[in-house]
Structure 1
Amino acid sequence: MSSDSIKREFGVSAEMYPQKGELLHPEHEGDVLKPNERWATELDMTTLRRVADSIPTAAYFVVVTEFCERFTYYGISGVFQNYIQNGYKVPNSRPGAIDGGQQMATGLGNFFQFWCYVTPILGAIVADQWLGKFKTILLFSLIYMVGDLVLTLTSLPGSIRHGGALPGLIIAMITIGLGTGGIKSNVSPMVAEQYGRYRPFVRKLKSGKEVLVDRDLTVQSIFNWFYWAINVGGLSAIATTELEANVDFWPAYLLPTLMFVLCIAVFWLGRKRYIVNKPTGSIVIKAYRTIRAGLRNYRAAKRENRLVAGVDGKKVSWIDYAKPSLAGSAVAMDWDDTFVDELRVGIRSCKIFIFYPIFWLCYGQISNNLISQSGQMNTGPVPNDIMQNIDPLTLIILIPIFDLFIYPAFRRCGLELRPVTRITIGFLVAALSMAYSAIIQHLVYTTGPYFEHPGEGDNGFNNISAGLQVPAYILVALSEIFASVTGLEYAYKQAPESMKSIVMSLFLFTNAGGSVLAFCFNSISVNPYLVKNFAIVSGLMGAFTVLFFICFRHYDSRDSSEILDKTVFEKPVDQY
């Protein structure tokens, strides 16, 4: 980075840039001091109030890109349930095109969600091995665009009447899902990478008071606003469901397609501002060979009674037996001890992901079974699938409140909500949302005139207001703030530098696991079994919440102490 670019970006001269060896991560050029700042001491870490830094301009370009992509994704997928479930232009019926019924609609919707969250692993490999995040996002955006065009063209009235809607939808789902994977696995770590300050520092405010600027809080804030942009984009389903109901499906798909053109343009415009890390080679195969070597060497050492102890006297982990220093020089390895240490951290950070498929099973209900539930209720003059937008609306309101007021208030009281605590709360709230949905479904079935068979054949809806669904969507939104946003943040912060894309893609892959679980519920995702569907999902989420907290409650204190141990501090001298 030139002296001019340093001054332009940070408002300081090149002479203020610290010398190599003074930084926590010397390779990161963002660790510079402004005139009102100094490096933090260990005493500062325990006495000063911690605050988040401002978000860099480059990160906003990535956030806007994600907003446009999510506008497209939710605008398109928001009308899938009606598009697949109902017939085309059937009098006195909900809008539709394919007439496949609720089970087909829910099954295809679950397939689409599954596919969209399997492909991020491919996107991570392409970025790490060959193209880097920036070029990978551009490439997969073009693939995504092809799917948008196929879906829009096959939803024209002539195509629907001649049977082109279903094959066009399947092709579009596969293509859009592939594009989504390449974007999602890279855009999340890329937005956080735009904040290049790693070493903790103290800033003097205009009031003369000093505060500790904390990288972890800044990354947490970036992901909060990143998720906020996702949900603003998710409001596109309001427009597309209205277009579906009052015009036709092709304009409902055309609007998100046009927005995706803007998505590509915004991302390209920010190209000169991004911090872009070059590809370092995919670590997937290398990690596999390392894990295999660790297991093999550990079993051999155990069998021969030559297990070794670490500096604390405890036996070292099985993965440490993949280290060349333990295996001996006679063993050929293309990795070093540092890579094994990073891999251990990566594996450990992925353990909490095991519990997320159940959470995504709960979340997925808002895009299929809860839409069908509202179709069985009186929605007044609005489409039934517009109800799902209560979730992003709630998030748009609550995320800034949590980021600016609630989380800082907890920190001022000395009760900071660390990741595992937040995730546990999110899981619990998700279980409550499904329990509430089961109660509402019971009320639907006990209300006439169609009772347990609303919407079947020429039947209409039961005489119960869809407004009763609102608390279910609000609870789902709260669960996302605590569990989904925190999961993104945790995956990024805990992953080693060389493994961020793949760890983020593994977190996204848990969403695919939720879709697989949803397939198991397909047989009861239809009347008159929906009460059982919601109740079982709620019970599973509640049980896994308890198990999650038991397994990982110690992670919060351990992670915070490790961060403190690894931090480089300035000697406590008079800075002013």
Structure 2
Amino acid sequence: MSSASIKQGVNTYAEALHPEHAGDVLQEGERWATEEDMSTLRRVADKIPTAAYFVVLTEFCERFTYYGITGPFQNYISNGYQVPNSRPGAIGGGQQMATGLSNFFQFFCYLCPILGAIIADQWLGKYKTILLFSLVYILGNLVLTLTALPVSIRAGGALPGMVIAMITIGLGTGGIKANVSPMVAEQYSRFRPFVRRLKNGKEVLVDRELTIQSIFNWFYWAINVGGLSAIATTELEANVDFWAAYLLPTLMFVFCIVVFWLGRNKYIVSKPTGSIVIKAYRTGRAGLRNYRLAKKENRLVMNESGKKVSWIDYAKPSLAVDSSFMDWDDRFVDELRTAIRSCKIFLCYPIFWLCYGQISNNLISQSGQMNTGSVPNDIMQNIDPLCIIILIPVFDLLIYPGFRRCGLELRPVTRITIGFLVAALAMAYAAIIQHLVYTTGPYYTHPAEGENGFNHISAGLQVPAYILIAIAEIFASVTGLEYAYKQAPESMKSIVMSIFLFTNAGGSILAFCFNSIAVNPHLVENFAIVSGLMGAFTILFFVCFRHYDQRDADEIMDKTMFEKQANEY
């Protein structure tokens, strides 16, 4: 029998053993990794599949639309329409209303992914759910564009139109965001590590973990390229009008739907798995009830290492006294435990999103109090995506591989901790800049009250704050997306991803608590308190979860060795 026939036989057997690993097929110049390979060869990421690029392009278009419409929000809500010697505006509600509505919109956009995840996991699947909620999204864009016409603004239709649009777009965003992130990673279907021989004759270990990390890096890169749309829309706001600023993203979203539909025959589409949420609730309730009963009757179970098993393990039919009502198996309980454990790591993220949210409201207001020259004040926030676009390729192609070549692996908890720390530094820097604004004339602690409305200090001093926030995002936000996908069981990926996204809504809730000091002359305290909170939670996060990195690495190695032995068998 030829070596090609033997290899094909091994591949067929592997697929039968693990149907979910049907993409694990060796190609020319490849072989399965041995234990020695795992410890000696250089680890590299695999190529990103073509189907993943369609999903990435879809996300680019959606984020182009999202950031394109939110870029002008602060001025649109805060300032009056066509007021002489004032920045562009429409509603005239003031800074507090603008910050409050922006926080509400962000909160609602990141609350709705839970609904999108439930619909996808239980009924429609990710592909159909994204298409359905895209129609809802574009309806909200049309409402926003039409109510931003001059005739509507003069008739008082801008505020109710904005509220309706925020709710509608929020629903659309939720349905898309919960599913597009796991869907892009699902397009890479190779699970087991393998060795590839390069053109120069050297062998490298192709690692799924690094491939997923790379996919999410470029996925986040596309998000931030789309985020540059705010440059165009803020210029349209200043030089044409708000209806033109909102029309451009609306047209882009039509293109978004077309792009996503064109890739329909290339996607790996996971089928809905049924009532996961209800099943998880019933499983958790059974685990708690059985655990309390076992504790009361002094019959707690120990694992192989002599430690008490988790409370959720008591939901396993194999440990239950009465399992007649259980429509799940032990494996589902193990998956649920993994999902619960992975969600713990998200508990500190609301503080991070509180820091990040400053770039879309209070930092815009800060630049409005500074000399921006002929540049609109709300264009400054685009420094953040510009930095990310430049830095992500540097991190993915140079920094992360450089650490690995030195034998230093920046695993998820380490990266997230660094991101949190940098976010705290960004807010501390913003507080220093705000202090300089208040100590510079001619308006000092009450800028935006004179004819020109700003103190004589350059908005260029804000740039380091945006650079620090961009670095924090690469370490914390990208890693959070990656961790949510990799740690979630196959049947719960959309739900776990939606829980991670919900932490962004938690940041918006916290931002509401800061509304009373998100005005002059209290913005120094606002930035300083946010910085202090982020610093404290960085320490708390590292203390609580520092052991996760080693544990996750051990679990990956154990799983790899188990599958290797199964394949050899």
Question: TM-score normalized by structure 2?
Answer: 0.97
Aligned to 2:364: 371
User: Aligned to 1:19, what secondary structure does the other structure show?
Assistant: helix
Task: Look up the equivalent residue of 1:245 and give its one-letter code.
Answer: A
Q: 2:273 aligned with 1:273, yes or no?
A: no
Deviates more, 1:13-22 or 1:328-337: 13-22
d(CA) in 1 for partners of 2:89, 2:524: 25
Matches within 5 A, 1:173-188: 173-188=166-181
Q: CA deviation at 1:458?
A: 4.8
Query: Structure 1's 152 and 32: CA in aligned 2 closer, same or farther, altered over 3 A?
Result: same
RMSD across aligned positions (CA): 1.8
Task: Look up the equivalent residue of 1:463 and give its one-letter code.
Answer: H
Q: CA deviation at 1:29?
A: 2.0
Question: TM-score normalized by structure 1?
Answer: 0.96
Aligned to 2:150: 157
| Residues 342, 487 of structure 2: 8 Å contact kept | yes
Q: 2:433 aligned with 1:420, yes or no?
A: no
Task: Look up the equivalent residue of 2:304 and give its one-letter code.
Answer: V
Matches within 5 A, 1:303-382: 303-382=296-375
| Residues 450, 461 of structure 1: 8 Å contact kept | yes
Q: 2:428 aligned with 1:435, yes or no?
A: yes
| Residues 186, 501 of structure 1: 8 Å contact kept | yes
Q: CA deviation at 1:16?
A: 6.6
Aligned to 1:133: 126
- Unaligned segments of structure 1, at least 5 residues: 1-10
Aligned to 1:546: 539
Aligned to 1:7: none
d(CA) in 1 for partners of 2:251, 2:163: 21
Residue-by-residue CA offset, 1:206-240 (whole Å, 9 max, x unaligned): 11110000000000000000000000000000000
1:557 aligns with one of 539, 550, 553: 550
Matched length = 564
Q: 2:25 aligned with 1:29, yes or no?
A: no
Aligned to 1:260: 253
d(CA) in 2 for partners of 1:488, 1:558: 19
User: Aligned to 2:348, what secondary structure does the other structure show?
Assistant: helix
Task: Look up the equivalent residue of 1:20 and give its one-letter code.
Answer: Y
Q: 2:219 aligned with 1:226, yes or no?
A: yes
d(CA) in 2 for partners of 1:383, 1:374: 9
Residue-by-residue CA offset, 1:50-95 (whole Å, 9 max, x unaligned): 0000000000000000000000000000110000000001111111
Q: 2:155 aligned with 1:169, yes or no?
A: no
| Residues 325, 337 of structure 1: 8 Å contact kept | yes
User: Aligned to 1:202, what secondary structure does the other structure show?
Assistant: strand
Q: CA deviation at 1:27?
A: 2.5
- Unaligned segments of structure 2, at least 5 residues: none
User: Aligned to 1:27, what secondary structure does the other structure show?
Assistant: helix
Query: Structure 1's 423 and 24: CA in aligned 2 closer, same or farther, altered over 3 A?
Result: farther
Deviates more, 1:484-493 or 1:310-319: 310-319
Query: Structure 1's 520 and 572: CA in aligned 2 closer, same or farther, altered over 3 A?
Result: closer
Q: CA deviation at 1:313?
A: 1.7
Query: Structure 1's 39 and 381: CA in aligned 2 closer, same or farther, altered over 3 A?
Result: same
Matches within 5 A, 1:488-507: 488-507=481-500
d(CA) in 2 for partners of 1:23, 1:352: 35
d(CA) in 2 for partners of 1:233, 1:296: 48
d(CA) in 2 for partners of 1:12, 1:534: 65
Query: Structure 1's 470 and 108: CA in aligned 2 closer, same or farther, altered over 3 A?
Result: same
Aligned to 1:40: 33
Task: Look up the equivalent residue of 2:470 and give its one-letter code.
Answer: A
Query: Structure 1's 54 and 330: CA in aligned 2 closer, same or farther, altered over 3 A?
Result: closer
d(CA) in 2 for partners of 1:13, 1:96: 70
d(CA) in 1 for partners of 2:398, 2:341: 31
Q: 2:48 aligned with 1:55, yes or no?
A: yes
d(CA) in 2 for partners of 1:487, 1:539: 22
Aligned to 1:246: 239
d(CA) in 2 for partners of 1:454, 1:507: 38
d(CA) in 2 for partners of 1:191, 1:456: 48
Aligned to 2:85: 92
Query: Structure 1's 519 and 572: CA in aligned 2 closer, same or farther, altered over 3 A?
Result: closer
Aligned to 1:472: 465
Residue-by-residue CA offset, 1:319-365 (whole Å, 9 max, x unaligned): 00011111134541111111000000000000010000000000000
